[in-house]
Every structure is written in structure tokens, then in C-alpha cells.
Amino acid sequence: EVQLVESGGGLVKPGGSLRLSCAASGFTVSNAWMTWVRQVPGKGLEWVGRIKRKTDGGTIDYAAPVKGRFTISRDDSKNTLYLQMNSLKIEDTGVYYCSTDYWGQGTLVTVSS
Amino acid sequence: DIQMTQSPSSLSASVGDRVTIACLASQSVGNYLNWYQLKPGKAPKLLIYGASSLQSGVPSRFSASGSGTDYTLTISSLQPEDFATYYCQQSYSTPLTFGGGTKVEIK
């Protein structure tokens, strides 16, 4: 059974950092196109970024609002996807999901002073 | 960026009703169009990929069609578990973009 479990969310001050993790089971992260998506409370979905599978070059793309501040990576030995978030802004607040064809339940990030 | 416009933004329907949700792209997305279902507190679910292909495990009352810039999701007979918010997404080009969502509520 495919499962994705996000963790690492929490409350952080503007300008701070967080690293989100997405532990996968039932498939191999390096063989999949993995995506981070966020949902601002009460609003819609916003694509954050994506990493292609290794056989497709492993290219990483980011949404403009997070480019230069967020970094997507993966640890094949742990079958885990990461989202390193630096220089956090209030508008980065939301529930962050990792996904392929399946999604995790998300982890809440709150940026507030 | 490709803009995705969904309509309606919300609708009220009864169990058994046929429901249709529209999604319009600002330019052709070449059938790289996905539909998702979101329920509070649950993991979002992929329903449809490639504009019309039903994801494994999704009930056959869900169907979708379209091409170019115009796409639709149809629920042939609404069930209690279908009350949720639905989003279209284009995966034709980055940044991948979502529609604004359609909330399906109980009449």
C-alpha cells in the first residue's frame, strides 16, 4: 500500500526556517516524480515545486514565490522527500502536502511573530 | 503561467443528482489535466488524470472529458461520500496550476 507521511511542520517566526519531511512507503521515491503542494487556510491549492525521478534527470522546479528560499531534496536510503524552507514569510503559512499520484495528509506550517 | 478557472465555485446538490464541474485553461494544456478531491482532515485524492483516465480505485460514477482548454468532471449519481471540494490542475507546464476549487455541498 502506498503511504506518504509528512512531518516537521510547526510555528516559526518570519525569517525563520523549517525542514519538512515526507516518508514514503509502498513505492520508491527516487523512481517517482514528487511534488510539494500547499493550501493556505480557507483557500485553494498552490503548487510549490517538483522533483523528477532520477531516470528523467532528477530536475527540480519551483514556484516563483518560493524560488531561492525553498529547496526540495530526497534521501534514497530513507525513501524520504524533504522541503527545506528558509527566510519564511507570513504568506508561507499553510498545510503542506507531498504527493505523487497519492497524497499525504499534510503538515501545518504557521509563520507568525 | 497558465490560469485555470473552475466553475461554479460552489454548488448544492442532493444524493443521486448528476453534477458537472467545468475547468477552463487560459491556453491549451494538451490533456495534461487532473482532477482531485479534497475533504477536511483527509489526504487529497487523485480522481482523474490525463483529462479522462480514471485513477485506480475511483468509483465509475466519476468521469471526465475535454481537450485543449475546456474540461469537465461529472459525477453521475452523487453519493454522501462525494460531498467535498474538487480541484482541476494542469500538469502541461511549470508552474503547475490549480483551479480555484468547487465545493459540493448537501442541498
Contact B97 A103 (CB under 8 A): no
Each residue's pLDDT tens digit, B6-58: 999 999 999 999 999 999 999 999 999 999 999 988 999 999 999 999 999 99
With an 8 Å Cβ cutoff, are A97 and B89 in contact?
no
Across the beta sheet with A45-51, what order do the strands follow?
Answer: A10-12, A107-111, A94-99, A34-39, A45-51, A60-62
**Predicted confidence (pLDDT) per residue in A14-46, tens digit:** 999 999 999 999 999 999 999 999 999 888 999
Residues A66 and B31: their CA atoms lie apart, in Å, by 27
Of B43, B49, B95, which is closest to A105 when you measure between CB atoms? B43
State the Cα–Cα distance between residues B50 and B92, nearest whole angstrom.
10
* DSSP three-state, residue A90: helix
Per-residue model confidence (pLDDT) at position B38 = 95
Model pLDDT, residue A80: 98
Given a cut of 70, the residues of chain A with pLDDT beneath it are: none
> Quick one: what percent of chain B has pLDDT higher than 70?
100
Give the minimum alpha-carbon distance from B93 to chain A in angstroms, rounded to a whole number: 11
Residues of B in Cβ contact (< 8 Å) with A45: 36, 38, 44, 87, 89, 98, 101
Looking at every residue in chain B, the average pLDDT score rounds to 97
Q: Which residue of B7, B37, B94 is the best one to mutate when testing the A interface, meaning the one whose CB has the most A CBs within 10 A?
A: B94
Q: Which residues in B lie closer than 8 A to residue A61 (C-beta atoms)?
A: 94-95
Q: Which residue of A has its CA nearest to B42?
A: A105
| pLDDT reported for residue B41 | 86
Provide the shortest C-alpha distance from residue B50 to chain A (in Å). Answer: 12
Q: What is the mean pLDDT of residues B81-94?
A: 97
Looking at this protein, which amino acid is placed at residue B26? S
